[in-house]
Chains A and B, each alone.
Chain A
Amino acid sequence: MDKKTAAYLCTGCGIGDALDVDAMGKVATKECKAALFRKHAALCSEEGVQLIRDDIEKEGVNTVLVAACSPRAMFRVFEFEGCITDRINLREQVVWSHPAGHEDTQALAEDQLRMGAARTRKSELPERFTPEQELSKDILVVGGGVAGLTAALEAARAGYKAVLVEKESSLGGFQKDVQGMATMPYKGVVPNEIGRLVGAVEDHKGIKVYTGATVEHIAGGPGLFDVAIKHNGSVAEHRIGAVVLAAGWVPYDPAKLPKVLGYGASPRVITNVAFEKLATSGKISRPKDGKPVRNAAFLQCAGQRDPQHLPYCSSACCTTALKQALQLKQQDREANVYIVYKELRTPGQAEDLFRKAQQEGIVFIRCQAPEVIVRKGRVSVEAHDELLGDKVVIDELDLVVLATGMVPATAMGKVDAALEPKEGECPKVADDAIVPADILNLRYRQGPELPGLKYGFPDSHFVCFPYESRRTGIYAAGCVRRPMGIAAAIEDATGAAMKAISAVELTSRGMAVHPRVGDTSYPEFFMQRCTQCKRCTEECPFGAINEDEKSNPILQATRCRRCGVCMGACPERIISFKNYSIGIIGEMIKSIDVPDETEEKPRILVFACENDAYPALDMLGLQRRTYNAWLRVIPMRCIGSLNLVFIADALSKGIDGVMLLGCKHGDNYECHFVKGSELANTRLSKIKETLDRLSLESDRVKFESVSITDYDRLSTLLDVFAARIQEIGPNPYKT
């Protein structure tokens, strides 16, 4: 579009007092070629905003520079339909954090204006992604257990069509073979209502059910998933909007348990899963000979919380043991029932069930290493009771029930040979490995299933965003995501269905999903210059880019999260967004006024993650803390969108130092785009070698990870870096 730019300077909140307003006007009109420059004492007031609106209407202004407070403040005030608007942060990051009237403060403010103008000069309004094919809003649910059934039903009840795929011949999953349930409000054992849930799903017109079926493949992206379902020897095809993965869990193989637990030594030693099978007959009797169960012991954490087996807690087993113990007591009040536990875990209202079990006379023994002894057909348990401080022997047991844990279905595939455990080694799969578990069979360049988080669960890494997955529009729910009981699985599935709906709704409007919800920009590839190096396809944290047979990248736009990691990865610089590109950032760098060597005023470019580092800089302003005024900050969608050319541009322009402020990376990463900050750091290590070769001190470039609340540390980091740059001396490439 032909741009007509106007610059508006707010003189409120101390800006007018701290800066030379007329000089700002000159920069706007002379250097930045703004057609209009206006100032106002409170631009955010009705009158101030009207001033801008009038210019848009009467003067044909379509590009607006608002030089005022941080874009984080007054967010809805400066929105002008159809205009490119840039917020130039003169308040928090200039006058509130630098001394008023100082020449360095003025220079900083002028550069902020230049950078904002440069950004708008190169920016275009994003156009929504509108594919030729029709977008679907249907939800695919993989897995027909409690979580899957709930997800399908809840989505259907909100008016969305669901397609449910269950590999077994009937619906219900694990729960279909379970008699009693222990769930909210945990007052006792209640009848299992799985039948009601199955019935509701089968009766719902909005749900298409495939049993005895598996997903052959899923291609495409949100709104445009092409799903092939293998069913009865044929293949059914569906266009799908989003996916809920509810493939559930499998019990840990009891044959692998330590010998001391006695599994295999007697038919009376069973697992908690086998107990459910016993209970289906209506009467729980001694395995093999069918005699009544008079004495029973439950051994908790069998092969759980144990680095040799399952390192985690399966959450539901304590409550399950209480339920099963109560079932035995209901059957025979005189039965002696023991629960041998390491830590009894009944969070929330489930504590009521624990109390009920105590009232019913179930005996609890706290012991870290119980032993099952099978001698001449007699089964006993020896345990050191921590509460009595003594050894306890429970003899003549008719039943020993081992609480084996849950393994997510996603961890059940054959792992790469490289990851296979060697003889005598315990199995260990890399945390974010993709195990080909034959569940989703995604036609994604980065692998066929969701990446695991820990222990093979494709859970979210983010405490506050439990449904964040690394495959856009695909959300895990229930025990495949993390081990949980029925009550939690129902909630979890409802939430996952919500996320799936949200994904199809946003996609249908051409918008990004979390965390850049509502963003309508997306990356475009200038393919003539692509060298098929595959960096973009490899580095995209969300697997949004596939490859053709010649290794050309093929963007699946609806999978894209708009972080710009691909843009940062591309050595040919061919990837750009309409409003965020190599060209735009290059122009911003170019616009910075770099004083010559004799002025002894270094310039330092700071690339700041806009989610954390940028707000942290704002906070310094809010607290009126000062930091070095030689810094020029460019906000980044993610520090992973940093292309090394930016550093080259900056240094060749004579900028003395470059600092990257990204989120923490490593095991407890805080990067909202998962890999962004790690990738930026890796790229940086590469450029450092180049700098050394060019005899440019590699200290001139630095990566620091900062959290949003790190602001006291941040001001020191910035000042220390500035001091270091001054010590190194001017960039020899300075003109």
Chain B
Amino acid sequence: MAPAAAQAILVVGGGISGLTAAIEAAEAGHEVYLVEKNPYLGGHVAQFYQYFPKLCPPSCGLEINFRRIKNLPRLHVMTMAEVARIEGEDGSWQVTIDQSPRYVNGKCTSCGKCTDACTLEIDNPFNCGMDRIKAAYLPHDMAFPQQFVLDPALVKSDEAQKVKEACPYDAIELEMKRKKIELKVASVVWATGWKPYDMAKLETYGAGKYPNVINNVMMERLASRQGPTQGKIQRPSDGRAPRDVAFVQCAGSRDENHLAYCSSVCCMAAMKQAMYVRAQIPDARITIFFIDIRAMDRLDSFYQELKRDEKIRFFKGKVAKIDEEGSTNNLVLRVEDTNDATLHELKMDLVVLATGMQPNTYDDPVPAKSVEYDDHGFISPPDGKPGIYPTGCTRTPGNVSDAAQDGTGAALKAIQSVVRR
């Protein structure tokens, strides 16, 4: 008889699709391993300020999901872990998991004494590096698991011992090593999600060069109360509230030199972020540069609502070039209005690029044979055949509801592999 774990399901990626897949499968009574690269669950969703179209906080649904996990002893969460190798076939996979050291063990009570003792600072990955935090940290307020992390730089530093001694609960293990974990599972769900397309590749937009050109994920952090500016939408260059804000759509997407596909969510995301600006800076003028506004199904009503807002201008045209205006760090956008073929130079205080979603499998494919990808790096669906089940944005770009919907379906495919054994 196969060992009990061989009946288990492995879900790789703890963003909204993987999280949903893991919880759904576990609630139906299955044993599940959920592997997440970050020290916390939630993926990109945890970084978002609000969801469209309701403008409600993602933490609200995450809290429910985390509470579901708390009630599921057969759902095993492994953070700071990645899958190094998968071998086998449907119903019988041998998986090697590579777990980085957190340097903090399960005794951590999240009291924060290590942070108090630490002086070393690092760029805050949760805020896209826009601020700095102590190198002994809780990834963010609502982080689950609610456990601190020590940055490797701190562990190597002279301060390490002092920080370790500050912990009253013996929760810091400076000698913690990278760990290899071997698992036998019946099925694998791949949900490693997406990353924003590398802005630096959009040379004509000066992204990465001009401080006031940011991407849409950074905008989420700027708007968030826990973000680098405590939720104040301001220009990175001088901290001033912007009066003219541009949203440049299809920055990389629908462009054969970059991402040939449409990233699906950026139109809604830009409109949502326009609402962040509207709520905070009532006299700000907002321009959304677009090719087509893709507000699908009932989400279209959100678009119709914004079209009625006189502070929001929808500008049909693809921005050709962005230049910075010397000392002011203001930006000049060169764009052709496709409605009348006129060329415009528009001055902006802040530019938000809709950089689009690139699947993480583009650079980090599944470490297994027999996984097929489409031209863009998304995993091709196994077409009804059993195998490794891709879900969420590793399969196709989509919004949060799409990812949760897809994750739910993936849970069932994974269960079928267990049942078939």
- B296, B375, B405: the one within 8 Å of A315 (CB): B296
Tell me the B69-101 residues at the A interface (CB within 8 Å).
70-73
Does A346 lie within 8 Å of B316, measured CB to CB?
Answer: no
* Docked pose: A670 CA to B58 CA in angstroms: 11
In the complex with contacts A344-B292, A708-B63, A495-B405 CB distance below 8 A: yes
User: Cβ of A709 < 8 Å from any Cβ of B?
Assistant: yes
In the complex with contacts A347-B296, A482-B297, A158-B316 CB distance below 8 A: no
Does B55 lie within 8 Å of A668, measured CB to CB?
Answer: yes
In the complex with contacts A464-B61, A464-B65, A343-B293 CB distance below 8 A: yes
User: Cβ of B347 < 8 Å from any Cβ of A?
Assistant: no
Does B59 lie within 8 Å of A709, measured CB to CB?
Answer: yes
* Docked pose: A351 CA to B357 CA in angstroms: 14
Chain B residue numbers with a CB within 8 Å of A42 are 107, 109, 168-169
Segment of B210-218, B238-246, B278-286, B396-404 in the binding face: B396-404
- B369-391 near A? 1/0 per residue, CB < 8 Å: 00000111010110000000000
Which of A158, A465, A711: most chain B Cβ within 10 A? A158
* Docked pose: A543 CA to B67 CA in angstroms: 25
* Docked pose: A69 CA to B108 CA in angstroms: 12
* Docked pose: A505 CA to B415 CA in angstroms: 13
Does B260 lie within 8 Å of A351, measured CB to CB?
Answer: yes
- A12, A387, A494, A668: the one within 8 Å of B409 (CB): A494
User: Cβ of A394 < 8 Å from any Cβ of B?
Assistant: no
Does A73 lie within 8 Å of B293, measured CB to CB?
Answer: no
Does B316 lie within 8 Å of A491, measured CB to CB?
Answer: no
CB distance from B261 to the nearest CB of A (A): 5
Give the size category of A's interface with B. Answer: 35 or more
In the complex with contacts A352-B261, A497-B412, A515-B64, A454-B298 CB distance below 8 A: yes
Tell me the B330-379 residues at the A interface (CB within 8 Å).
338-341, 374-376, 378
User: Cβ of A587 < 8 Å from any Cβ of B?
Assistant: no
Does B28 lie within 8 Å of A464, measured CB to CB?
Answer: no
Chain A residue numbers with a CB within 8 Å of B64 are 464-465, 515, 611, 672
- B71, B254, B299, B400: the one within 8 Å of A351 (CB): B254
- A72, A157, A347: the one within 8 Å of B262 (CB): A347
Does A707 lie within 8 Å of B401, measured CB to CB?
Answer: no
User: Cβ of B110 < 8 Å from any Cβ of A?
Assistant: yes
- A184, A386, A463, A711: the one within 8 Å of B316 (CB): A386
* Docked pose: A464 CA to B392 CA in angstroms: 13
- A185, A484, A491, A498: the one within 8 Å of B297 (CB): A484
Does A73 lie within 8 Å of B297, measured CB to CB?
Answer: no
Does B61 lie within 8 Å of A465, measured CB to CB?
Answer: yes
Segment of A111-119, A228-236, A615-623, A696-704 in the binding face: A615-623
- B27, B65, B225: the one within 8 Å of A709 (CB): B225
User: Cβ of B141 < 8 Å from any Cβ of A?
Assistant: yes
Which of A41, A506, A670: most chain B Cβ within 10 A? A670
* Docked pose: A74 CA to B147 CA in angstroms: 10
User: Cβ of A459 < 8 Å from any Cβ of B?
Assistant: yes
User: Cβ of A99 < 8 Å from any Cβ of B?
Assistant: no
Which of A461, A466, A467, A506: most chain B Cβ within 10 A? A466
Chain B residue numbers with a CB within 8 Å of A73 are 109-110, 146
Chain A residue numbers with a CB within 8 Å of B226 are 709
- A34-49 near B? 1/0 per residue, CB < 8 Å: 0000000110110000
- B260, B295, B341: the one within 8 Å of A352 (CB): B260
CB distance from B33 to the nearest CB of A (A): 16
Does A708 lie within 8 Å of B416, measured CB to CB?
Answer: no
User: Cβ of A258 < 8 Å from any Cβ of B?
Assistant: no
Does B28 lie within 8 Å of A501, measured CB to CB?
Answer: yes
User: Cβ of B411 < 8 Å from any Cβ of A?
Assistant: yes
Chain B residue numbers with a CB within 8 Å of A345 are 292, 294, 296
* Docked pose: A464 CA to B400 CA in angstroms: 6
Closest B residue by C-beta to A79: B73
Closest B residue by C-beta to A155: B412
User: Cβ of A492 < 8 Å from any Cβ of B?
Assistant: yes
Does A158 lie within 8 Å of B419, measured CB to CB?
Answer: yes
Does B261 lie within 8 Å of A12, measured CB to CB?
Answer: no
* Docked pose: A493 CA to B58 CA in angstroms: 25
Chain A residue numbers with a CB within 8 Å of B376 are 349
User: Cβ of B301 < 8 Å from any Cβ of A?
Assistant: yes
Chain B residue numbers with a CB within 8 Å of A305 are 300, 304
User: Cβ of B209 < 8 Å from any Cβ of A?
Assistant: no
Closest B residue by C-beta to A185: B374
Does B28 lie within 8 Å of A483, measured CB to CB?
Answer: no
- A489-529 near B? 1/0 per residue, CB < 8 Å: 00111111111011001100000001101100000000000
Does A498 lie within 8 Å of B109, measured CB to CB?
Answer: no
Closest B residue by C-beta to A92: B110
Does A464 lie within 8 Å of B16, measured CB to CB?
Answer: yes
CB distance from B17 to the nearest CB of A (A): 11
Does B406 lie within 8 Å of A505, measured CB to CB?
Answer: no
In the complex with contacts A12-B169, A670-B56, A495-B294 CB distance below 8 A: no
* Docked pose: A518 CA to B72 CA in angstroms: 9
CB distance from A663 to the nearest CB of B (A): 8
Closest B residue by C-beta to A388: B341
CB distance from B410 to the nearest CB of A (A): 8
Chain A residue numbers with a CB within 8 Å of B415 are 158, 498, 501
Does B107 lie within 8 Å of A45, measured CB to CB?
Answer: yes
Does A498 lie within 8 Å of B146, measured CB to CB?
Answer: no
Chain A residue numbers with a CB within 8 Å of B52 are 463
Tell me the A605-626 residues at the B interface (CB within 8 Å).
611-612, 615, 619, 622-623
- B54, B260, B381: the one within 8 Å of A668 (CB): B54
User: Cβ of B192 < 8 Å from any Cβ of A?
Assistant: no
Does B404 lie within 8 Å of A465, measured CB to CB?
Answer: yes
- B256-269 near A? 1/0 per residue, CB < 8 Å: 10001111100000
User: Cβ of A369 < 8 Å from any Cβ of B?
Assistant: no
* Docked pose: A494 CA to B297 CA in angstroms: 20
User: Cβ of B125 < 8 Å from any Cβ of A?
Assistant: no
Closest B residue by C-beta to A347: B264
Tell me the A387-416 residues at the B interface (CB within 8 Å).
387, 389
* Docked pose: A493 CA to B409 CA in angstroms: 8
Which of B71, B107, B405: most chain A Cβ within 10 A? B405
User: Cβ of B176 < 8 Å from any Cβ of A?
Assistant: no
Tell me the B17-39 residues at the A interface (CB within 8 Å).
24, 27-29
CB distance from B221 to the nearest CB of A (A): 13
* Docked pose: A641 CA to B280 CA in angstroms: 34
- A45, A159, A351, A496: the one within 8 Å of B169 (CB): A45
* Docked pose: A344 CA to B398 CA in angstroms: 17
Chain A residue numbers with a CB within 8 Å of B70 are 75-76
* Docked pose: A466 CA to B402 CA in angstroms: 8
User: Cβ of A174 < 8 Å from any Cβ of B?
Assistant: no
CB distance from B254 to the nearest CB of A (A): 6
Does B298 lie within 8 Å of A13, measured CB to CB?
Answer: no
Known pairs A349-B396, A466-B408; list 8 more (Cβ under 8 Å).
A73-B110, A154-B409, A348-B263, A350-B262, A454-B301, A462-B61, A515-B64, A611-B64
30 of the cross-chain contacts (CB-CB < 8 Å) are A12-B111, A76-B73, A158-B412, A313-B296, A313-B298, A315-B296, A315-B297, A346-B262, A347-B296, A348-B397, A348-B398, A349-B378, A386-B316, A386-B338, A461-B54, A464-B400, A464-B404, A466-B402, A467-B405, A496-B408, A498-B412, A501-B412, A502-B24, A502-B28, A517-B27, A517-B68, A518-B27, A670-B54, A708-B59, A712-B225
Residues of B bordering A, CB below 8 Å: 16, 24, 27-29, 45, 51-52, 54-65, 67-68, 70-73, 107, 109-111, 141-142, 146, 168-169, 224-226, 254, 256, 260-264, 292-301, 304, 316, 338-341, 374-376, 378, 380-381, 396-398, 400-402, 404-413, 415-416, 419
The 5 closest A-B pairs by CB, nearest first: A464-B61, A494-B409, A495-B408, A347-B264, A498-B412
